[in-house]
Amino acid sequence: MTYEPKLIIYDLDGILTDTAEFHFLAWQKLAEGLGLSFDRAFNEQLKGINRMDSLDRILALDSTIGAFSDEEKLKLATQKNDYYLTLIEEITPAHILPGMLAFLDANKKTDAKIALGSASKNAPAILEKLGLTGYFDYIVDAAKVKNGKPDPETFTAAADALGIDYRDCIGIEDASAGVEAVNRAGMFSVGVGDREHLSHADYLVAETSELEFEEVVRQFREKNAGL
């Protein structure tokens, strides 16, 4: 019997589009306003991490900065998001990453449902700007989960909402925390990026242009055939 996926869950940043630069610039502006040095190397640690956890990591860069109340942290996070929202105004369908429109089209022609699993509360707005909303059967963003990646809740929430067994799902991620979340959910993980950070993925490609729908499904079948 051929084993087919019933749900494919896509991350947003780094998979469908690359808003990482906008996040970096927004965090950098906030950090500089606090007198903190924030560079691209440190920004890599924030991939796949939700906004409040990212803020905590940034504030921990300088132990002399003092403690912030939860209310003050919320204001800072909101300020960062305001910077980010201004930057993403320029997003259009031209910002869809290479190969992903064809991948989504191939997915849409099958019986496999399509969901978004993103750490961003802005995910629905970004999907709209990309012109991709119509592809998705369900959207999980940070507002729908209590625990961010690497906790599996982002992925299990999508499967639960659509009534699909976790073993029948594929999660596509570009962040180490995201791949870990997919694995912890008991789903088939597809990583997009370098092996150093994503060696724990069930299947790995270097960039989105190398993602081919039939090959991903073939890899999924092979793994499930061995279970």
Residue numbers annotated as active site = 11, 13
Q: What distance in Å separates the CA atoms of residue 26 and residue 165, rounded to the nearest whole number?
A: 38
CA atoms within 13 A on the CB side of 12: 29
The DSSP call for residue 98 is: T
Neighbours of 150 (CB within 10 A): 18
Q: Could you tell me the strand order of the sheet in which 188-192 lies? A: 138-140, 113-117, 7-10, 169-173, 188-192, 203-205
**CA dihedral over 211, 15, 166, 186, signed as positive or negative:** positive
CB 141 within 8 A of CB 116: yes
CB 87 within 8 A of CB 22: yes
CB 93 within 8 A of CB 117: no
